[in-house]
Amino acid sequence: MLYLKLQSTIISKGGQYGRKAKNEVGSLKKEIEEKDKEIENLKNRLAFLENQVLSKNKKIFGPSSEKIDSNQLNFFNEVEKDSNVKLDEPTVEEITYKRNKPSKNKQDNFSNLEIIEIEHKLEEDQLKCSICNTTMEVIGKKTKDTLVYEPAKMYIERHISYSYACKNCEKVTGEANIITTESSKNLITKSLASNKLLAHIISQKYEYAMPLYRQESYFKNLGVCLSRQTMSNWAISCSEKLEIVYKEFKSRLLASNYIQADETTLKVIDPKGNESKSKIYMWLYKTCNSENPVVLYEYQKTRSSSWPKKFLDGFSGYLQTDGYSGYNKLEKIKHIYCMAHIRRYFYKVIEPIQKNEEALKKSRALIGFNYCEEIYSLEKNIREKYCNDKDFYQIRYKIREKELKPLLDKFNNYIKQEKENALPESPLGKAIAYSEKVLPNMNLVLEDGHLEIDNNAAERAIKPFVIGRKNWLFSNTPRGAKASATLYSIIETAKANNLIAERYLVYLFDKLTGIDDLKQLDLEEMMPWATNIPSDIKINKNK
Protein backbone atom coordinates (compact mmCIF):
# COMPACT_ATOMS: atom_id res chain seq x y z
CA MET A 1 0.00 0.00 0.00
CA LEU A 2 2.82 2.31 0.92
CA TYR A 3 4.53 1.33 -2.28
CA LEU A 4 1.52 2.25 -4.38
CA LYS A 5 1.20 5.60 -2.59
CA LEU A 6 4.89 6.32 -3.15
CA GLN A 7 4.59 5.35 -6.84
CA SER A 8 1.57 7.61 -7.22
CA THR A 9 3.48 10.48 -5.61
CA ILE A 10 6.46 9.93 -7.93
CA ILE A 11 4.21 9.88 -10.99
CA SER A 12 2.43 13.00 -9.80
CA LYS A 13 5.71 14.86 -9.17
CA GLY A 14 7.17 13.55 -12.43
CA GLY A 15 4.15 14.78 -14.34
CA GLN A 16 4.53 18.22 -12.80
CA TYR A 17 8.22 18.30 -13.69
CA GLY A 18 7.43 16.93 -17.20
CA ARG A 19 4.80 19.57 -17.87
CA LYS A 20 7.18 22.23 -16.59
CA ALA A 21 9.99 20.93 -18.81
CA LYS A 22 7.61 20.68 -21.72
CA ASN A 23 6.50 24.27 -21.19
CA GLU A 24 10.11 25.41 -20.98
CA VAL A 25 10.94 23.55 -24.20
CA GLY A 26 7.92 25.10 -25.92
CA SER A 27 8.95 28.54 -24.69
CA LEU A 28 12.50 28.01 -25.92
CA LYS A 29 11.22 26.81 -29.30
CA LYS A 30 9.04 29.87 -29.62
CA GLU A 31 11.96 32.10 -28.67
CA ILE A 32 14.18 30.34 -31.22
CA GLU A 33 11.51 30.80 -33.92
CA GLU A 34 11.25 34.49 -33.10
CA LYS A 35 15.03 34.82 -33.23
CA ASP A 36 15.12 32.95 -36.54
CA LYS A 37 12.44 35.25 -37.90
CA GLU A 38 14.36 38.26 -36.65
CA ILE A 39 17.55 36.94 -38.25
CA GLU A 40 15.68 36.34 -41.52
CA ASN A 41 14.31 39.86 -41.45
CA LEU A 42 17.79 41.21 -40.77
CA LYS A 43 19.15 39.16 -43.66
CA ASN A 44 16.42 40.55 -45.93
CA ARG A 45 17.18 44.02 -44.67
CA LEU A 46 20.90 43.52 -45.29
CA ALA A 47 20.19 42.17 -48.79
CA PHE A 48 17.97 45.17 -49.43
CA LEU A 49 20.67 47.62 -48.34
CA GLU A 50 23.34 45.79 -50.35
CA ASN A 51 21.05 45.91 -53.37
CA GLN A 52 20.50 49.61 -52.84
CA VAL A 53 24.26 50.24 -52.75
CA LEU A 54 24.82 48.13 -55.86
CA SER A 55 21.96 49.87 -57.67
CA LYS A 56 23.29 53.30 -56.77
CA ASN A 57 26.79 52.34 -57.91
CA LYS A 58 25.41 50.99 -61.17
CA LYS A 59 23.39 54.15 -61.75
CA ILE A 60 26.48 56.31 -61.15
CA PHE A 61 29.22 54.19 -62.71
CA GLY A 62 27.51 51.45 -64.74
CA PRO A 63 25.83 51.26 -68.16
CA SER A 64 22.14 52.17 -68.37
CA SER A 65 21.20 49.42 -70.83
CA GLU A 66 19.36 46.35 -69.59
CA LYS A 67 21.40 44.22 -71.97
CA ILE A 68 24.92 43.15 -71.19
CA ASP A 69 27.01 43.13 -74.34
CA SER A 70 30.71 42.43 -74.16
CA ASN A 71 31.09 44.04 -77.58
CA GLN A 72 29.48 47.29 -76.52
CA LEU A 73 30.87 50.24 -78.45
CA ASN A 74 33.67 52.17 -76.83
CA PHE A 75 33.68 55.70 -78.22
CA PHE A 76 37.41 56.24 -77.89
CA ASN A 77 38.53 53.13 -79.75
CA GLU A 78 35.66 52.98 -82.25
CA VAL A 79 37.90 53.13 -85.30
CA GLU A 80 40.20 50.35 -84.07
CA LYS A 81 37.34 48.22 -82.74
CA ASP A 82 35.21 48.23 -85.89
CA SER A 83 37.99 48.12 -88.47
CA ASN A 84 38.51 45.03 -90.59
CA VAL A 85 41.48 45.06 -92.96
CA LYS A 86 40.17 41.91 -94.70
CA LEU A 87 36.89 43.56 -95.67
CA ASP A 88 36.71 44.39 -99.39
CA GLU A 89 36.02 47.94 -100.49
CA PRO A 90 32.30 48.48 -101.20
CA THR A 91 31.06 48.88 -104.75
CA VAL A 92 28.23 50.95 -106.17
CA GLU A 93 26.42 47.81 -107.35
CA GLU A 94 26.44 46.32 -103.85
CA ILE A 95 22.90 46.01 -102.42
CA THR A 96 22.62 44.48 -98.96
CA TYR A 97 19.14 45.54 -97.75
CA LYS A 98 16.50 42.82 -97.95
CA ARG A 99 12.95 43.64 -96.99
CA ASN A 100 11.79 42.08 -93.70
CA LYS A 101 15.19 40.46 -93.30
CA PRO A 102 17.51 43.10 -91.86
CA SER A 103 21.10 41.95 -91.76
CA LYS A 104 22.89 41.92 -88.43
CA ASN A 105 26.06 42.95 -90.22
CA LYS A 106 24.94 45.86 -92.37
CA GLN A 107 27.31 46.58 -95.22
CA ASP A 108 27.84 49.83 -97.10
CA ASN A 109 25.10 50.55 -99.62
CA PHE A 110 25.27 53.25 -102.32
CA SER A 111 22.47 52.01 -104.56
CA ASN A 112 20.48 55.23 -104.16
CA LEU A 113 23.27 57.58 -105.25
CA GLU A 114 23.42 59.36 -108.57
CA ILE A 115 26.19 58.06 -110.83
CA ILE A 116 28.18 60.58 -112.88
CA GLU A 117 30.27 58.89 -115.57
CA ILE A 118 33.55 60.47 -116.57
CA GLU A 119 35.19 58.90 -119.61
CA HIS A 120 38.93 59.10 -120.01
CA LYS A 121 39.55 58.94 -123.76
CA LEU A 122 42.43 59.88 -125.96
CA GLU A 123 42.16 63.12 -127.92
CA GLU A 124 41.93 62.96 -131.71
CA ASP A 125 45.58 63.84 -132.15
CA GLN A 126 46.56 61.11 -129.68
CA LEU A 127 44.79 58.28 -131.54
CA LYS A 128 47.57 57.85 -134.13
CA CYS A 129 49.83 54.86 -133.58
CA SER A 130 53.34 56.01 -132.74
CA ILE A 131 54.79 53.13 -134.80
CA CYS A 132 52.72 52.97 -138.03
CA ASN A 133 50.60 56.13 -137.75
CA THR A 134 47.32 54.12 -138.08
CA THR A 135 44.24 55.30 -136.11
CA MET A 136 43.87 53.20 -132.95
CA GLU A 137 40.54 51.59 -131.99
CA VAL A 138 38.93 50.90 -128.59
CA ILE A 139 39.44 47.25 -127.63
CA GLY A 140 38.22 47.32 -124.01
CA LYS A 141 37.49 49.42 -120.98
CA LYS A 142 37.56 49.13 -117.20
CA THR A 143 35.54 50.92 -114.55
CA LYS A 144 36.66 52.39 -111.26
CA ASP A 145 34.15 53.94 -108.83
CA THR A 146 35.05 56.76 -106.45
CA LEU A 147 32.75 57.98 -103.70
CA VAL A 148 32.88 61.79 -103.81
CA TYR A 149 31.82 64.29 -101.17
CA GLU A 150 30.98 67.81 -102.29
CA PRO A 151 31.08 70.33 -99.41
CA ALA A 152 28.00 72.47 -98.86
CA LYS A 153 28.11 76.01 -100.11
CA MET A 154 26.11 79.16 -99.44
CA TYR A 155 25.31 81.77 -102.06
CA ILE A 156 22.88 84.60 -102.63
CA GLU A 157 20.21 84.05 -105.26
CA ARG A 158 19.30 87.57 -106.38
CA HIS A 159 15.89 87.79 -108.03
CA ILE A 160 15.36 90.90 -110.14
CA SER A 161 11.83 91.80 -111.14
CA TYR A 162 11.13 94.10 -114.08
CA SER A 163 8.20 96.38 -114.76
CA TYR A 164 6.96 96.96 -118.31
CA ALA A 165 4.74 99.78 -119.55
CA CYS A 166 2.93 100.39 -122.83
CA LYS A 167 3.95 103.86 -124.02
CA ASN A 168 1.33 103.91 -126.71
CA CYS A 169 -1.51 103.45 -124.18
CA GLU A 170 0.00 106.19 -122.11
CA LYS A 171 -0.10 108.57 -125.13
CA VAL A 172 -3.67 107.64 -126.08
CA THR A 173 -5.38 107.29 -122.70
CA GLY A 174 -2.96 109.04 -120.42
CA GLU A 175 -2.46 105.85 -118.39
CA ALA A 176 0.21 103.33 -119.12
CA ASN A 177 -0.55 99.59 -119.05
CA ILE A 178 2.03 98.32 -116.58
CA ILE A 179 3.01 94.66 -116.03
CA THR A 180 5.51 93.61 -113.35
CA THR A 181 7.18 90.19 -113.29
CA GLU A 182 6.97 88.23 -110.08
CA SER A 183 10.04 86.80 -108.37
CA SER A 184 10.01 83.57 -106.37
CA LYS A 185 8.39 83.65 -102.93
CA ASN A 186 9.61 82.18 -99.64
CA LEU A 187 7.56 80.68 -96.82
CA ILE A 188 8.47 83.55 -94.49
CA THR A 189 7.44 86.76 -96.24
CA LYS A 190 10.20 89.35 -96.66
CA SER A 191 12.76 86.90 -95.28
CA LEU A 192 16.16 86.21 -96.75
CA ALA A 193 15.83 82.49 -96.01
CA SER A 194 14.92 80.12 -98.83
CA ASN A 195 12.61 77.19 -98.11
CA LYS A 196 15.52 74.79 -98.51
CA LEU A 197 17.63 76.67 -95.97
CA LEU A 198 14.75 76.72 -93.47
CA ALA A 199 14.24 72.98 -93.87
CA HIS A 200 17.96 72.33 -93.43
CA ILE A 201 18.26 74.36 -90.21
CA ILE A 202 15.16 72.70 -88.71
CA SER A 203 16.28 69.22 -89.76
CA GLN A 204 19.74 69.70 -88.28
CA LYS A 205 18.32 70.80 -84.93
CA TYR A 206 15.27 68.57 -84.49
CA GLU A 207 16.34 65.48 -86.42
CA TYR A 208 20.10 65.39 -85.85
CA ALA A 209 20.23 67.23 -82.49
CA MET A 210 22.60 69.96 -83.67
CA PRO A 211 21.91 73.02 -81.52
CA LEU A 212 21.73 76.42 -83.16
CA TYR A 213 24.98 77.68 -81.65
CA ARG A 214 26.81 74.85 -83.44
CA GLN A 215 24.99 75.63 -86.66
CA GLU A 216 26.02 79.24 -86.19
CA SER A 217 29.66 78.11 -86.12
CA TYR A 218 29.11 75.79 -89.09
CA PHE A 219 27.63 78.54 -91.26
CA LYS A 220 30.47 80.83 -90.24
CA ASN A 221 32.90 78.34 -91.78
CA LEU A 222 30.89 78.66 -95.01
CA GLY A 223 31.39 82.42 -94.96
CA VAL A 224 27.99 83.38 -93.52
CA CYS A 225 27.39 85.17 -90.23
CA LEU A 226 23.97 83.81 -89.30
CA SER A 227 23.04 84.33 -85.66
CA ARG A 228 21.21 81.74 -83.59
CA GLN A 229 18.61 84.38 -82.73
CA THR A 230 17.75 84.75 -86.41
CA MET A 231 17.57 80.98 -86.86
CA SER A 232 15.36 80.70 -83.75
CA ASN A 233 12.96 83.27 -85.18
CA TRP A 234 12.85 81.39 -88.47
CA ALA A 235 12.14 78.06 -86.72
CA ILE A 236 9.28 79.52 -84.69
CA SER A 237 7.78 81.19 -87.78
CA CYS A 238 7.95 77.87 -89.67
CA SER A 239 6.27 76.01 -86.82
CA GLU A 240 3.40 78.50 -86.82
CA LYS A 241 2.93 77.95 -90.56
CA LEU A 242 2.93 74.18 -89.98
CA GLU A 243 0.28 74.38 -87.26
CA ILE A 244 -2.44 73.45 -89.75
CA VAL A 245 -0.56 70.25 -90.67
CA TYR A 246 -0.09 69.42 -86.96
CA LYS A 247 -3.85 69.78 -86.37
CA GLU A 248 -4.59 67.48 -89.29
CA PHE A 249 -2.15 64.91 -87.87
CA LYS A 250 -3.96 65.14 -84.54
CA SER A 251 -7.35 64.50 -86.10
CA ARG A 252 -5.93 61.34 -87.74
CA LEU A 253 -4.45 60.23 -84.41
CA LEU A 254 -7.76 60.64 -82.54
CA ALA A 255 -9.57 58.71 -85.28
CA SER A 256 -7.36 55.64 -84.76
CA ASN A 257 -8.23 52.86 -82.32
CA TYR A 258 -4.78 52.19 -80.81
CA ILE A 259 -2.48 54.86 -79.36
CA GLN A 260 0.72 54.58 -77.36
CA ALA A 261 1.78 57.43 -75.08
CA ASP A 262 4.81 58.45 -73.06
CA GLU A 263 6.22 61.55 -71.41
CA THR A 264 9.64 62.85 -70.40
CA THR A 265 11.10 65.80 -68.57
CA LEU A 266 13.16 68.65 -69.99
CA LYS A 267 15.21 71.49 -68.58
CA VAL A 268 14.26 75.05 -69.32
CA ILE A 269 15.74 78.45 -68.56
CA ASP A 270 13.85 81.53 -67.49
CA PRO A 271 14.20 84.94 -69.18
CA LYS A 272 17.09 85.77 -66.82
CA GLY A 273 19.06 82.75 -68.01
CA ASN A 274 18.61 80.68 -64.84
CA GLU A 275 17.74 77.00 -65.01
CA SER A 276 14.23 76.30 -63.77
CA LYS A 277 13.95 74.01 -60.74
CA SER A 278 10.45 72.84 -61.63
CA LYS A 279 9.99 69.86 -63.94
CA ILE A 280 8.64 70.60 -67.41
CA TYR A 281 7.24 67.82 -69.57
CA MET A 282 7.10 66.86 -73.21
CA TRP A 283 4.30 64.39 -73.91
CA LEU A 284 4.26 61.99 -76.85
CA TYR A 285 1.34 60.26 -78.55
CA LYS A 286 1.61 57.92 -81.52
CA THR A 287 -0.63 55.62 -83.49
CA CYS A 288 0.45 52.00 -83.37
CA ASN A 289 0.23 49.32 -86.07
CA SER A 290 -1.23 51.85 -88.48
CA GLU A 291 -0.54 52.02 -92.21
CA ASN A 292 -0.33 55.81 -91.83
CA PRO A 293 1.56 56.35 -88.54
CA VAL A 294 1.32 59.65 -86.70
CA VAL A 295 3.74 60.84 -83.99
CA LEU A 296 2.79 63.94 -81.99
CA TYR A 297 4.58 65.87 -79.27
CA GLU A 298 2.92 68.24 -76.81
CA TYR A 299 4.66 70.57 -74.37
CA GLN A 300 3.13 71.17 -70.92
CA LYS A 301 4.48 72.68 -67.72
CA THR A 302 3.26 69.87 -65.44
CA ARG A 303 2.63 66.12 -65.40
CA SER A 304 -1.02 66.63 -64.48
CA SER A 305 -3.49 63.98 -65.61
CA SER A 306 -5.60 66.77 -67.09
CA TRP A 307 -3.23 67.14 -70.07
CA PRO A 308 -3.63 63.66 -71.64
CA LYS A 309 -7.35 63.83 -70.86
CA LYS A 310 -7.61 67.12 -72.75
CA PHE A 311 -5.31 66.13 -75.63
CA LEU A 312 -7.05 62.79 -76.24
CA ASP A 313 -10.55 64.18 -75.93
CA GLY A 314 -12.70 62.33 -78.47
CA PHE A 315 -10.48 59.24 -78.63
CA SER A 316 -11.96 55.83 -77.87
CA GLY A 317 -9.95 52.65 -78.20
CA TYR A 318 -6.82 51.09 -76.71
CA LEU A 319 -4.30 53.33 -74.94
CA GLN A 320 -0.94 51.82 -73.99
CA THR A 321 1.34 53.52 -71.47
CA ASP A 322 3.73 52.83 -68.63
CA GLY A 323 2.37 52.56 -65.08
CA TYR A 324 1.87 56.30 -64.54
CA SER A 325 -1.61 56.71 -63.02
CA GLY A 326 -2.16 60.08 -64.74
CA TYR A 327 -3.63 58.28 -67.76
CA ASN A 328 -6.28 56.52 -65.69
CA LYS A 329 -8.70 59.46 -65.77
CA LEU A 330 -9.34 59.05 -69.49
CA GLU A 331 -12.81 57.81 -70.32
CA LYS A 332 -13.99 55.45 -73.07
CA ILE A 333 -10.59 53.76 -73.37
CA LYS A 334 -9.11 50.37 -72.62
CA HIS A 335 -5.84 50.96 -70.77
CA ILE A 336 -3.01 48.54 -71.59
CA TYR A 337 0.27 48.71 -69.72
CA CYS A 338 3.80 47.80 -70.73
CA MET A 339 5.46 44.42 -70.16
CA ALA A 340 8.91 45.99 -70.65
CA HIS A 341 8.41 48.13 -67.53
CA ILE A 342 7.39 45.05 -65.52
CA ARG A 343 10.49 43.22 -66.75
CA ARG A 344 12.62 46.25 -65.86
CA TYR A 345 11.55 46.10 -62.21
CA PHE A 346 12.59 42.45 -61.86
CA TYR A 347 15.78 43.04 -63.82
CA LYS A 348 16.82 45.72 -61.32
CA VAL A 349 16.57 43.12 -58.53
CA ILE A 350 18.66 40.41 -60.20
CA GLU A 351 21.09 42.64 -62.11
CA PRO A 352 23.45 43.26 -59.13
CA ILE A 353 23.67 39.52 -58.36
CA GLN A 354 23.60 38.03 -61.84
CA LYS A 355 27.26 37.00 -61.61
CA ASN A 356 26.65 35.22 -58.31
CA GLU A 357 25.06 31.92 -59.38
CA GLU A 358 24.24 30.81 -55.84
CA ALA A 359 22.50 34.06 -54.95
CA LEU A 360 20.74 34.13 -58.31
CA LYS A 361 19.27 30.66 -57.79
CA LYS A 362 17.86 31.66 -54.41
CA SER A 363 16.40 34.94 -55.69
CA ARG A 364 12.61 34.94 -55.83
CA ALA A 365 12.82 37.79 -58.33
CA LEU A 366 14.39 35.43 -60.88
CA ILE A 367 11.05 33.61 -61.17
CA GLY A 368 9.24 36.82 -62.11
CA PHE A 369 12.00 37.82 -64.52
CA ASN A 370 11.83 34.41 -66.21
CA TYR A 371 8.08 34.79 -66.75
CA CYS A 372 8.83 38.04 -68.60
CA GLU A 373 11.51 36.30 -70.66
CA GLU A 374 9.11 33.48 -71.59
CA ILE A 375 6.52 36.01 -72.75
CA TYR A 376 9.06 37.90 -74.87
CA SER A 377 10.42 34.66 -76.29
CA LEU A 378 6.93 33.64 -77.37
CA GLU A 379 6.31 37.02 -79.02
CA LYS A 380 9.66 36.88 -80.80
CA ASN A 381 8.98 33.40 -82.17
CA ILE A 382 5.57 34.46 -83.48
CA ARG A 383 7.02 37.50 -85.23
CA GLU A 384 9.97 35.65 -86.76
CA LYS A 385 7.83 32.77 -88.01
CA TYR A 386 4.78 34.61 -89.33
CA CYS A 387 5.88 38.25 -89.96
CA ASN A 388 5.49 37.86 -93.74
CA ASP A 389 2.09 36.20 -93.53
CA LYS A 390 -0.80 38.40 -94.67
CA ASP A 391 -2.87 37.06 -91.73
CA PHE A 392 -0.12 37.75 -89.19
CA TYR A 393 -2.32 39.56 -86.66
CA GLN A 394 -5.01 36.88 -86.75
CA ILE A 395 -2.39 34.17 -86.32
CA ARG A 396 -0.84 36.03 -83.39
CA TYR A 397 -4.27 36.42 -81.81
CA LYS A 398 -4.89 32.64 -81.92
CA ILE A 399 -1.42 31.69 -80.64
CA ARG A 400 -1.69 34.18 -77.78
CA GLU A 401 -5.05 32.76 -76.74
CA LYS A 402 -3.49 29.32 -76.57
CA GLU A 403 0.00 30.03 -75.16
CA LEU A 404 0.21 33.59 -73.78
CA LYS A 405 -2.92 33.38 -71.64
CA PRO A 406 -1.61 30.47 -69.47
CA LEU A 407 1.69 32.34 -69.01
CA LEU A 408 -0.07 35.49 -67.84
CA ASP A 409 -2.23 33.44 -65.44
CA LYS A 410 0.84 31.79 -63.90
CA PHE A 411 2.58 35.16 -63.63
CA ASN A 412 -0.42 36.65 -61.83
CA ASN A 413 -0.53 33.71 -59.38
CA TYR A 414 3.19 34.14 -58.67
CA ILE A 415 2.62 37.85 -57.88
CA LYS A 416 -0.18 37.00 -55.41
CA GLN A 417 1.99 34.44 -53.58
CA GLU A 418 5.08 36.63 -53.40
CA LYS A 419 3.14 39.62 -52.10
CA GLU A 420 2.74 37.92 -48.69
CA ASN A 421 6.49 37.52 -48.09
CA ALA A 422 8.22 40.35 -49.93
CA LEU A 423 9.29 43.43 -47.96
CA PRO A 424 7.30 46.36 -49.37
CA GLU A 425 10.29 48.72 -49.44
CA SER A 426 12.67 46.17 -50.98
CA PRO A 427 13.36 46.09 -54.75
CA LEU A 428 11.43 42.81 -54.98
CA GLY A 429 8.58 44.32 -52.99
CA LYS A 430 8.43 47.26 -55.37
CA ALA A 431 8.51 44.94 -58.38
CA ILE A 432 5.66 42.90 -56.91
CA ALA A 433 3.61 46.01 -56.07
CA TYR A 434 4.07 47.46 -59.56
CA SER A 435 3.22 44.16 -61.24
CA GLU A 436 0.15 43.68 -59.07
CA LYS A 437 -1.14 47.07 -60.26
CA VAL A 438 -0.53 46.71 -64.00
CA LEU A 439 -0.23 43.01 -64.86
CA PRO A 440 -3.99 42.18 -64.84
CA ASN A 441 -4.57 44.75 -67.63
CA MET A 442 -2.02 42.96 -69.82
CA ASN A 443 -4.77 40.42 -70.54
CA LEU A 444 -6.22 43.04 -72.90
CA VAL A 445 -3.58 42.13 -75.51
CA LEU A 446 -5.45 38.84 -75.89
CA GLU A 447 -8.39 40.71 -77.44
CA ASP A 448 -6.65 41.78 -80.66
CA GLY A 449 -3.56 40.53 -82.47
CA HIS A 450 -2.67 44.11 -83.48
CA LEU A 451 -1.91 45.03 -79.86
CA GLU A 452 1.71 44.94 -78.66
CA ILE A 453 2.87 43.67 -75.27
CA ASP A 454 4.97 46.74 -74.54
CA ASN A 455 5.17 50.47 -75.05
CA ASN A 456 8.62 50.35 -76.66
CA ALA A 457 7.47 51.94 -79.91
CA ALA A 458 6.50 55.11 -78.01
CA GLU A 459 9.80 55.08 -76.12
CA ARG A 460 11.69 54.81 -79.42
CA ALA A 461 9.64 57.68 -80.84
CA ILE A 462 10.47 59.95 -77.91
CA LYS A 463 14.16 59.04 -78.01
CA PRO A 464 15.13 61.71 -80.62
CA PHE A 465 13.85 64.35 -78.24
CA VAL A 466 15.69 62.76 -75.30
CA ILE A 467 18.91 62.84 -77.34
CA GLY A 468 18.29 66.41 -78.44
CA ARG A 469 17.63 67.77 -74.97
CA LYS A 470 21.17 66.82 -73.95
CA ASN A 471 22.49 69.38 -76.40
CA TRP A 472 20.53 72.45 -75.37
CA LEU A 473 18.29 74.03 -72.75
CA PHE A 474 14.79 75.07 -73.75
CA SER A 475 13.64 78.61 -73.27
CA ASN A 476 10.81 78.79 -70.77
CA THR A 477 8.39 80.43 -73.20
CA PRO A 478 5.16 78.82 -74.42
CA ARG A 479 5.81 79.99 -77.98
CA GLY A 480 9.25 78.40 -78.23
CA ALA A 481 8.22 75.16 -76.54
CA LYS A 482 5.14 74.81 -78.73
CA ALA A 483 7.32 75.38 -81.80
CA SER A 484 9.63 72.55 -80.73
CA ALA A 485 6.68 70.20 -80.21
CA THR A 486 5.27 71.01 -83.65
CA LEU A 487 8.56 70.61 -85.50
CA TYR A 488 9.44 67.36 -83.72
CA SER A 489 5.97 66.05 -84.63
CA ILE A 490 6.34 66.85 -88.35
CA ILE A 491 9.81 65.32 -88.56
CA GLU A 492 9.06 62.14 -86.59
CA THR A 493 5.82 61.53 -88.47
CA ALA A 494 7.69 61.92 -91.77
CA LYS A 495 10.32 59.42 -90.63
CA ALA A 496 7.64 56.98 -89.43
CA ASN A 497 6.19 57.07 -92.96
CA ASN A 498 9.59 56.38 -94.55
CA LEU A 499 10.14 59.87 -95.89
CA ILE A 500 13.33 61.93 -95.95
CA ALA A 501 12.31 64.50 -93.34
CA GLU A 502 14.27 67.47 -94.71
CA ARG A 503 12.87 67.03 -98.22
CA TYR A 504 9.37 66.60 -96.83
CA LEU A 505 9.75 69.90 -94.99
CA VAL A 506 10.73 71.61 -98.26
CA TYR A 507 7.65 70.03 -99.91
CA LEU A 508 5.37 71.38 -97.16
CA PHE A 509 7.01 74.82 -97.22
CA ASP A 510 6.54 75.06 -101.00
CA LYS A 511 2.87 74.10 -100.61
CA LEU A 512 2.32 76.71 -97.88
CA THR A 513 4.25 79.51 -99.58
CA GLY A 514 2.09 82.37 -100.78
CA ILE A 515 -1.13 80.93 -99.33
CA ASP A 516 -3.12 83.56 -97.45
CA ASP A 517 -6.39 81.64 -97.16
CA LEU A 518 -5.64 78.26 -95.56
CA LYS A 519 -8.97 76.92 -96.83
CA GLN A 520 -7.36 76.82 -100.27
CA LEU A 521 -5.02 74.06 -99.14
CA ASP A 522 -5.65 70.44 -100.00
CA LEU A 523 -4.42 68.91 -96.73
CA GLU A 524 -4.85 65.36 -97.99
CA GLU A 525 -2.15 65.77 -100.62
CA MET A 526 0.19 67.22 -97.97
CA MET A 527 0.00 64.15 -95.74
CA PRO A 528 3.19 62.02 -95.67
CA TRP A 529 1.25 58.97 -96.91
CA ALA A 530 -0.36 60.79 -99.86
CA THR A 531 0.04 59.10 -103.26
CA ASN A 532 1.21 62.34 -104.89
CA ILE A 533 4.30 62.68 -102.64
CA PRO A 534 7.31 62.99 -105.02
CA SER A 535 9.42 59.86 -105.25
CA ASP A 536 12.66 61.66 -104.34
CA ILE A 537 11.20 62.35 -100.86
CA LYS A 538 10.52 58.68 -100.20
CA ILE A 539 13.05 56.23 -98.78
CA ASN A 540 13.22 53.25 -101.13
CA LYS A 541 13.19 50.25 -98.79
CA ASN A 542 13.52 47.76 -101.61
CA LYS A 543 17.08 48.84 -102.29
Q: With b meaning 16 or more CB within 10 Å and e meaning fewer, what string describes 100-139?
A: eeeeeeeeeeeeeeeeeeeeeeeeeeeeeeeeeeeeeeee
Question: According to the per-residue pLDDT averaged within each range, which of 46-50, 51-55, 132-136, 439-443 is highest?
Answer: 439-443
The pLDDT, as a whole number, for residue 206 is 92
Q: For position 81, what pLDDT does the model report? A: 40
Looking at the chain, the whole-number percentage of residues with pLDDT higher than 70 is 80
What's the pTM value of the predicted model, to 2 decimals?
0.76
pLDDT value for 71: 34
| Residue 316: count of CB within 10 angstroms of its CB | 13
pLDDT of residue 489: 96
Mean pLDDT of the chain: 82
Query: Which of 52-56, 66-70, 521-525 shows the highest mean pLDDT?
Result: 521-525
Task: Assign 285 to helix, strand or coil.
Answer: strand
Q: Which stretch of 32-36, 196-200, 274-278, 516-520 has the lowest confidence by average pLDDT?
A: 274-278
Beta-bridge partners for 262: 284
Q: Flag whether pLDDT at 204 surpasses 80.
A: yes
Over range 71-76, report the average pLDDT.
32
Q: How confident is the model at residue 127 (pLDDT cuts 50, 70, 90)?
A: confident
Q: Which of 519, 537, 518 is nearest to 529 (CA)?
A: 537
pLDDT at position 417 = 92
Distance CA 369, CA 347 (A): 6
Nearest CA to 298 out of 100, 525, 112, 483 is that of 483
Q: Is 286 helix (H, G, I), strand (E, B) or coil?
A: strand
What gap in Å lies between CA 283 and CA 181, rounded to an integer? 47
Dihedral pair phi/psi, residue 54, rounded to 5°: -60, -40
Most confident by average pLDDT, 132-146, 256-270, 355-369, 442-456: 442-456
Average pLDDT in the 202-211 region? 92
Bridge partners (DSSP) of residue 319 are: 259, 335
- 8 Å CB contact between 188 and 512: no
Q: Which residue did the predictor score with more confidence, 36 or 311?
A: 311
Give dist(CA 115, CA 175) in Å, integer. Answer: 56
**What is residue 181's predicted lDDT score, i.e. its pLDDT?**
86
| Tens-place pLDDT, residues 457-500 | 998 888 888 887 766 655 556 677 888 899 999 999 999 999 99
Is 9 strand, coil or helix? helix
User: Rounded CA gap, 152 and 150, in Å?
Assistant: 7
Residues 255, 252: Cα–Cα separation, whole Å: 5
What is the rounded CA–CA span in Å between residue 230 and residue 526? Answer: 27
The whole-angstrom separation of Cα 247 and Cα 230 is 26
Q: For the segment 245-283, what is each residue's pLDDT rounded down to a tens digit?
A: 999 999 999 999 999 999 988 777 666 666 666 778 899
CA nearest neighbour of 234 among 198, 186, 204, 205: 198
pLDDT of residue 431: 94
Distance CA 79, CA 75 (A): 9
Lowest mean pLDDT among 10-14, 77-81, 511-515, 533-537: 77-81
pLDDT at position 543 over 50: no
Tens digits of residue pLDDT in 40-49: 778 767 766 7
* pLDDT number for residue 82: 45
Share of the chain above pLDDT 90, in %: 43
Least confident of 66-75, 116-125, 413-422, 526-535: 66-75
Q: What is the pLDDT of residue 101?
A: 42
pLDDT, tens digit, for every residue of 228-241? 889 989 999 999 99
The answer, yes or no, to whether residue 218 has pLDDT greater than 80, is yes
Buried b (16+ CB within 10 A) or exposed e, 243-281: ebbbebbbebbbebebbbbbbeebebeeeeeeeeeeebb
Residues 90-114: what's their mean pLDDT? 53
